[in-house]
């Protein structure tokens, strides 16, 4: 089959899966909503830790920032685990597309936990 074959819509060169809603966007949105619900306490702790860092004096700032980073890392790890667990059920090309969509939504919806892939 040539690249111009009929059938299911293929991606055009340069067409990024995030340029439209994509087949994984709704799924990733639901997963992030579930994360926000399940990890509400962690999300609150992250914000509290950031406020503590922002309000800390010079002698406390480094310790407070370390606490903030540790909490962000915990959330990031949970998101990566969620993403990778689903991606493992997909073929390689679909898994890559899903990861791109998921990571993009994390950067937009949960910027403190932005994933780089």
Task: Tell me how crowded residue 38 is: count the other CB atoms within 10 A of its CB.
Answer: 12
DSSP label at 88? T
- Token reading at 95: 């898994």
Instruction: State the number of CA atoms in the 13 A half-sphere of 37 facing the CB.
Output: 6
Residue range 19-67, pLDDT digits in tens: 445 789 999 999 999 999 999 999 999 999 999 999 999 999 999 999 9
Residue 10, pLDDT score: 44
* Residue 53 or 1, more confident: 53
Distances in Å between the Cα of 71 and the Cα atoms of 40, 49, 64, 84 are 12, 8, 11, 20
Which helix (DSSP H) or strand (DSSP E) does residue 6 occupy? Answer: none
Residue range 79-101, pLDDT digits in tens: 999 999 999 999 999 999 999 99
For the residues 68-72, what does the mean pLDDT come to? 98
Residue 115, pLDDT score: 79
């Amino acid at each position: 089959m040539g690249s111009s074959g009929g059938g299911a819509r293929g991606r055009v060169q340069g067409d990024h899966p995030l340029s439209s809603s994509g087949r994984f966007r709704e799924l990733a949105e639901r997963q992030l909503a579930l994360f926000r619900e399940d990890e509400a306490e962690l999300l609150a702790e992250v914000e509290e830790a950031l406020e503590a860092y922002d309000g800390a004096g010079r002698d406390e700032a480094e310790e407070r920032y370390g606490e903030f980073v540790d909490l962000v890392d915990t959330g990031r790890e949970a998101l990566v685990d969620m993403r990778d667990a689903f991606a493992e059920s997909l073929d390689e090309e679909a898994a890559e597309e899903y990861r791109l969509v998921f990571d993009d939504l994390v950067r937009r919806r949960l910027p403190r936990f932005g994933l780089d892939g």
